[in-house]
Amino acid sequence: MDTGASSHLNNSVCEIFNTCMYPSISVGDGHSIPVTNTGHSIFPTPTKSLHLNNVLITPHIFKNLIFVRQFVRDNNCTIEFDAFGFSVKDFLTRRMLLRCDSTGDLYPVTAPSPIPHVFLVSHHTWHHHLGHPGREVLRHLVSNNFISCNKEKPHVLWHACQLGKHVRLLFVSSNTVVTSCFEIIHSDVWTSPIPSLSGFKYYVLFLDHYSQFVWVYPLLNKSDLWSKFVLFRTYVRTQFKCEIRSFQCDHGGEFDNRNFHKLFADNGIQFRFSCPKTSQQNGKSERMVRTISNLIRTLLFQANLPPTFWVEALNVATYLLNFLPSTAIHNEIPYTRLFGTNPDYSLLRTFGCLCYPHLDTNHKLEPRTTPSINLEQVSNHRGSRCLDLKTNKIIISRHVTFDETVFPYGSTQPALPPTYTFLDDIPDIIPPTIPTNPAVQLPPEPITLIHNTPIQHHHDAAQLPTTPQQLSPAYVQTTENQAHSPPPSTSAV
């Protein structure tokens, strides 16, 4: 076998059919030797005969040469060289036609070597022999001559492979394109093992796909989700004069029930569920829950507040996220996308910092303020919600002075650092829950909002127990009823 030859060369052939037009040829040592004829020869193999066409008959050649390129072209085969010889294989089926073993520097055509049976094994048989490996593994073994088999057959779905090695399919990025607000609302329910001061154990979020604006509603029970969605839908229809077109959520029973299905069917709202145990299909709301939890944790650490203040931190966290650029909408601001105006950052104050709300006194010698903790802004009062450190009153006032460098709660409480593992994606330890009074029916805490209305002067206070840790649901009910009014109007936190 000669990869450098330009023609087959032989000192004799079985069949001479033409007089050669070349009188001589040049060989490797530089000499010219005469060419007498052109002929044809048959190359026998154990499986079939191979053809040698256009052979130049040169009686003075010392070794017959086979022109490799012409040989594989005429016989539709391949030749593979290795350290021990060469193999001739059918180009289409990869079936072994000839195997010649040799030593030395050349590749002479010797007596055919026995063809091992494994060379004729099918691809599917090797798949069984090797314990059902992947197709790429078999291809690697074949390409490196560890095994040889017939041409690979079309892929077969093996039942044993599916039972033993079935894996989840890859997820692809969503290519959903929306052009206006409320075309798709994403929703999810988050569960806390620690009740808030008001007794809330859940919250539901509604995320607008187009603007990335998020609304949150704390829940006492998951069954309260239906009433919160009705409240949210009414808010959308009243404030934005439009209807929710699609609703994306998981397959939980709080969503997949008769109330939702009937409302959506009657109003033409598309219901989009993620598959069971497939949270990736509800990725937008899942990622938003994680983002909110990270911010809640950060705010609580900053203020040295115990985990029971998670609802207050939740309100502040969502309010801030709506004011911050979002990478999901190319660093636009959700508030601006939804309302068409820029947010007002001048009202922002640091969560948990020291503040001094104005007090109305009974006589001139009483203090005009008291050291407090800034919890959040209250939408329907256009003021701040403050926790009195001395009397544990909740004070809502527009006239508040802030010291944003001091966080007094940690200095007045035990030095043990609070833990917020319940905010982790998969908490390892579930902290003990705070007992609640089952006889008290608590109202859901409304969303804190910012209204575009003139600032109003307002002051209100309610008596609290001795320490913040002792706040009871019964107390919070009284305070919440005095401090808040129901539905949202503009930006939610």
144: containing domain: 120-165
In a domain, 492, yes or no: no
In a domain, 287, yes or no: yes
Distances (CA, A) of 120 to 123, 149, 151, 429: 9, 5, 10, 59
Handedness of CA 122, 125, 126, 127 (dihedral sign): positive
Statement to judge: residues 255 and 144 lie in one domain:
no
Q: What is the structure's pLDDT at 417?
A: 59
DSSP 130: T
User: Within 10 Å of residue 492's Cβ, how many Cβ atoms?
Assistant: 24
More confident of the two residues 349 and 271:
349
Q: Single out the residue of 451, 173, 493 nearest to residue 334, CA to CA.
A: 493
In a domain, 360, yes or no: yes
In a domain, 170, yes or no: no
DSSP line for 368-427 = SB--EEEEEEEGGGTEEEEEETTT--EEEES-EEEETT--THHHHS-SSPP--GGGSSS-
User: Within 10 Å of residue 489's Cβ, how many Cβ atoms?
Assistant: 16
Number of H helices and E strands in the chain, helices first, is 11, 22
pLDDT digits (tens, 9 = 90+) for 410-451: 665 555 556 767 666 544 333 444 344 433 333 344 333 333
In a domain, 294, yes or no: yes
Cβ atoms 37, 12 nearer than 8 A? no
Mean pLDDT over 101-123 rounds to 70
The domain boundary, picked from 115, 149, 173, lies at 115
Statement to judge: residues 318 and 412 lie in one domain:
yes
- The two most distant CA atoms of the chain are separated, in Å, by 135
Statement to judge: residues 140 and 191 lie in one domain:
no
Lowest-confidence region among 102-106, 226-230, 403-407, 450-454: 450-454
Q: What proportion of the chain, given as a percentage, has pLDDT over 90?
A: 19
Statement to judge: residues 131 and 259 lie in one domain:
no
The domain boundary, picked from 100, 115, 130, lies at 115
Q: What is the structure's pLDDT at 467?
A: 34
Cβ atoms 369, 357 nearer than 8 A? yes
Q: What is the structure's pLDDT at 162?
A: 62
With cut-offs at 50, 70 and 90, classify the pLDDT of residue 342: very high
Best-predicted range by mean pLDDT (275-279, 385-389, 433-437) = 385-389
Statement to judge: residues 124 and 111 lie in one domain:
no
Q: What is the mean pLDDT of the chain?
A: 75
In a domain, 2, yes or no: no
Number of domains in the chain: 3
Query: Please, which residues have CB within 8 angstroms of residue 204's CB and are 6 or more apart in sequence?
Result: 187, 188, 189, 190, 216, 217, 219, 225, 228, 229
Statement to judge: residues 328 and 383 lie in one domain:
yes
Statement to judge: residues 381 and 258 lie in one domain:
yes
In a domain, 173, yes or no: no
Distances (CA, A) of 442 to 201, 268, 430, 482, 483: 12, 34, 24, 13, 14
pLDDT digits (tens, 9 = 90+) for 32-77: 888 888 888 887 777 778 888 888 888 888 788 898 999 999 889 9
In a domain, 276, yes or no: yes
What are the phi and psi torsion angles at 237 (to 5°)?
-70, -35
Q: Which residue has the tokens 């088999």?
A: 149
pLDDT digits (tens, 9 = 90+) for 151-206: 555 556 566 666 665 555 554 555 667 788 999 999 989 888 889 988 999 999 99
Statement to judge: residues 429 and 452 lie in one domain:
yes
Statement to judge: residues 370 and 292 lie in one domain:
yes
Q: What proportion of the chain, given as a percentage, has pLDDT over 70?
A: 68
Q: What is the structure's pLDDT at 470?
A: 35
| CATH classification at residue 433 | 3.30.420.10
Statement to judge: residues 19 and 47 lie in one domain:
yes
Statement to judge: residues 227 and 353 lie in one domain:
yes
Statement to judge: residues 128 and 219 lie in one domain:
no
